[in-house]
Amino acid sequence: MTILVHHLNNSRSQRILWLLEELGEPYEVRRYERDRKTMRAPESLRAIHPLGRSPVVEVDGHRLIETGAIMEHLVARAGNRFGPPADTESAIRYRQYMHYAEGSMMPPLLALLIIGKLGLLGRPARPTVQKMLDDHLDWIETELASRPYFAGYAFTAADMMMSFPLEASRARGGLNESRPNTLRWLTAMHDRPAYQAALQTGGKYAYA
């Protein structure tokens, strides 16, 4: 059965397209465009799910939300391809980063986005929030100094989960050449053929 992805431009749903390309799963994309003034998702997404957020994936008669949960479901459905590695340490890191991406790293990035929209009113808060994000970026830089991927020595769904916050950090959070290990990893992700195929399918993506 073909998987249906409700895909919003410049959103977390790009990672789901990437995973499906890596898995070689047949899928269909239903696109939605953000309002150019508010950058919010269109109301038509609320007809799909009451929260009106993306991604929403329809698979095997189920409608799923939340990027991490969707990824875990699709990975399990595909026989655990790109799932947790066999060794315990790598498996622990895999599960850690599957949740860290949204649970810990995205909040300061979202705060920076809001601060940017506040103009002069947001300036006093920016140094504090930027320091919070810098702590994350500094730690990630040390993590990627000793291994090529987040879980260990194999590419996994944890790398796909981590792509969005690090792309956003590159775009607006201060991630630059001062953190070469992180940029090396990000370049390697962007060079993957499945990533490039997902960009073609998903349309214009500001963070790539």
Q: How far apart are CA 28 and CA 57, in angstroms?
A: 10
Contacts of 174 (CB under 8 A, 6+ apart): 130, 133, 134, 137
Residues 115 and 125: beta-carbon distance below 8 Å? yes
Is 184 part of a structural domain of the chain?
yes
Flag whether pLDDT at 35 surpasses 90.
no
Distances from the Cα of 79 to the Cα of 95, 99, 162, 169, 208, angstroms: 17, 21, 22, 32, 29
Q: Are residues 44 and 93 in the same domain?
A: no
Q: Are residues 116 and 169 in the same domain?
A: yes
Tens of pLDDT along 153-195?
Answer: 999 999 999 999 999 999 999 999 999 999 999 999 999 999 9
Q: Are residues 64 and 101 in the same domain?
A: no
Q: Are residues 182 and 121 in the same domain?
A: yes
Contacts of 2 (CB under 8 A, 6+ apart): 26, 27, 28
Q: Are residues 92 and 167 in the same domain?
A: yes
Question: Where does the pLDDT of residue 143 fall: very low under 50, low under 70, confident under 90, or very high at 90 and above?
Answer: very high
Q: Are residues 96 and 54 in the same domain?
A: no
Flag whether pLDDT at 15 surpasses 80.
yes
Q: How far apart are CA 190 and CA 208, in angstroms?
A: 7
Which CATH number fits the domain that encloses residue 164?
Answer: 1.20.1050.10
What is the chain's percent helix, strand, coil content, to nearest 5? 60, 10, 35
Q: Are residues 172 and 92 in the same domain?
A: yes
What does the pLDDT read at residue 204?
87
Q: How far is it between the farthest Cα atoms of the chain?
A: 52
Q: Which three-class secondary structure state does DSSP give residue 148?
A: coil
| Total of domains in the chain | 2
What does the pLDDT read at residue 112?
95
- Whole-structure pTM value: 0.94
| Two tokens, residue 62 | 């189920």
Q: Are residues 69 and 96 in the same domain?
A: no
**First and final CA of the chain: distance in angstroms?**
30
Selection from 154, 108, 75 nearest residue 100 by Cα: 108
Average model confidence (pLDDT) across the chain:
95
Q: Are residues 183 and 92 in the same domain?
A: yes
Q: Are residues 184 and 107 in the same domain?
A: yes
Q: Are residues 101 and 40 in the same domain?
A: no
By residue range, what is the domain housing residue 33?
A: 3-82+194-202
Question: Where does the pLDDT of residue 36 fall: very low under 50, low under 70, confident under 90, or very high at 90 and above?
Answer: confident
Q: Are residues 119 and 73 in the same domain?
A: no
Flag whether pLDDT at 208 surpasses 80.
no
